[in-house]
Amino acid sequence: MHTSALDLGSDMRTTLVTGGCGFIGSNFVRHLLETEPDTRVINFDALTYAGNLANVADLVGNPRYRFIKGDVTDREAVRVALVGVDALVHFAAESHVDRSILDSGPFVRTNVQGTQVLLDAARHVGVSRYVQVSTDEVYGSLGAEGAFTEATPLAPNSPYAASKAAADLLVRSYVHTFGMPALITRCSNNYGPYQFPEKLLPLFISNLLRDEPVPVYGDGLNVRDWIHVLDHCAAVAAVLRKGRPGEVYNIGGRSEWTNIRLTHALLDLLGKPRSLIRYVADRPGHDRRYAIDCAKIETELGWKPTIPFEQGLSDTIAWYKANAPWVEQIRSGAYRDYYARQYGTPGGT
């Protein structure tokens, strides 16, 4: 286990964040350290292909921050990491739908078994709060109208979504059976800095910056509800500190876009021609539309999304332009093999 120093001042609370070297987790660790001066953060992450120490390089040397390299399915590593911890936010997961279609094994191991290991360890330590970061994908797919509420029945369609729903049900059972002070968040599609370029937006932005084609699945009319990662982080922090234990909170951006409209917007912002669009075979079982009703968190906790999508999209493009070495470091690694397998064409450098 690799660790770095942590200030052990006694008037501080300690929050353990799993998956803090990934996209949302790294933004969340930074958000907590910036907004809560009395919080120490332990970042527990296995550094899988999606975990990147470069995402948290700016935090090294912060006396309120500590990194532990560990796997959430490793009972002993989790037990040791939780000593002295009073709250836990669980982001660590296998997170990409397409990879879950290629091989669902790691999704069941990390997302289901890992959650069970964390729940048991957190229960034995007696944490005051456990936040399960879930996804709107557990609700399945919508038609042209309506939005997911917290009362929408679970109907996951991909192996990824099924593994997240299974984890949610484990959390629910620990609340019911053991009185565990756990809460669940279900958020829509995030975008922003440090997102791994397998997901739609960073994949398309990084391809277009190199004048490479962008693969649009099916007819391009699937709809996603986009939220900036910093708005998501603020929502999870609100749930962590103010949410009612045992409750589920939906989080969304109130910003629905078809994939093709979004692709056109990216091309226009980057000044690239529409000839770079490639319609490719659809994702098997592709959910048609997601939309989140986030009235509950807005009403109960006073949170709402603040970053307009067009603004966030321009900022995100600027971030990927300014951080070309971060993208290149990923694209030159094992990413190339994944890209070739998923899209049947070479990707990366």
Tokens 């986009």 appear where? 226
Which one, of 18, 198, 9, 187, lies nearest residue 117 by Cα? 18
CA-CA-CA-CA torsion sign (91, 262, 140, 49): negative
Neighbours of 177 (CB within 10 A): 9
Least distance (Å) from ligand DAU to the CB of residue 46?
Answer: 17
* Residue 26 interacts with ligand DAU (CB under 6 A): yes or no: no
Residue span binding ligand DAU (CB under 6 A) among the ranges 12-20, 110-118, 131-139, 240-248: 131-139
Residue span binding ligand DAU (CB under 6 A) among the ranges 59-67, 83-91, 216-224, 311-319: 216-224
What is the CA angle 72-121-15, rounded to 5? Answer: 75
301, 155 contact by CB (below 8 A): no
Neighbours of 105 (CB within 10 A): 10
Residue 160 is a catalytic residue: yes
Answer with the entry of ligand NAD, ligand DAU, none that 259 interacts with (C-beta below 5 to 8 A by kind).
ligand DAU
Residue span binding ligand DAU (CB under 6 A) among the ranges 12-20, 46-54, 212-220, 319-327: 212-220
Residue 310 is a catalytic residue: no
What is the CA angle 279-285-290, rounded to 5? Answer: 85
Least distance (Å) from ligand DAU to the CB of residue 222?
Answer: 4
Tell me the Ramachandran region of residue 204: left when phi exceeds 0, alpha when psi lies from -120 to 50, beta otherwise: alpha
Residues of this chain that bind ligand NAD (CB under 6 A): 18-19, 21-25, 45-48, 50-51, 71-73, 91-95, 110, 114, 133, 135, 164, 187, 189-190, 196
Q: Which of 45, 71, 94, 136 is catalytic?
A: 136
The site that binds ligand DAU (CB under 6 A) totals a number of residues, namely 19
Which one, of 295, 167, 297, 170, lies nearest residue 241 by Cα? 297
* Residue 133 interacts with ligand DAU (CB under 6 A): yes or no: no
Annotated active-site positions, please?
A: 136-137, 160
Summarize as ranges the residues that interact with ligand DAU (CB under 6 A).
95-97, 135-137, 188-189, 199-200, 203, 215-217, 222, 224, 259, 283, 290
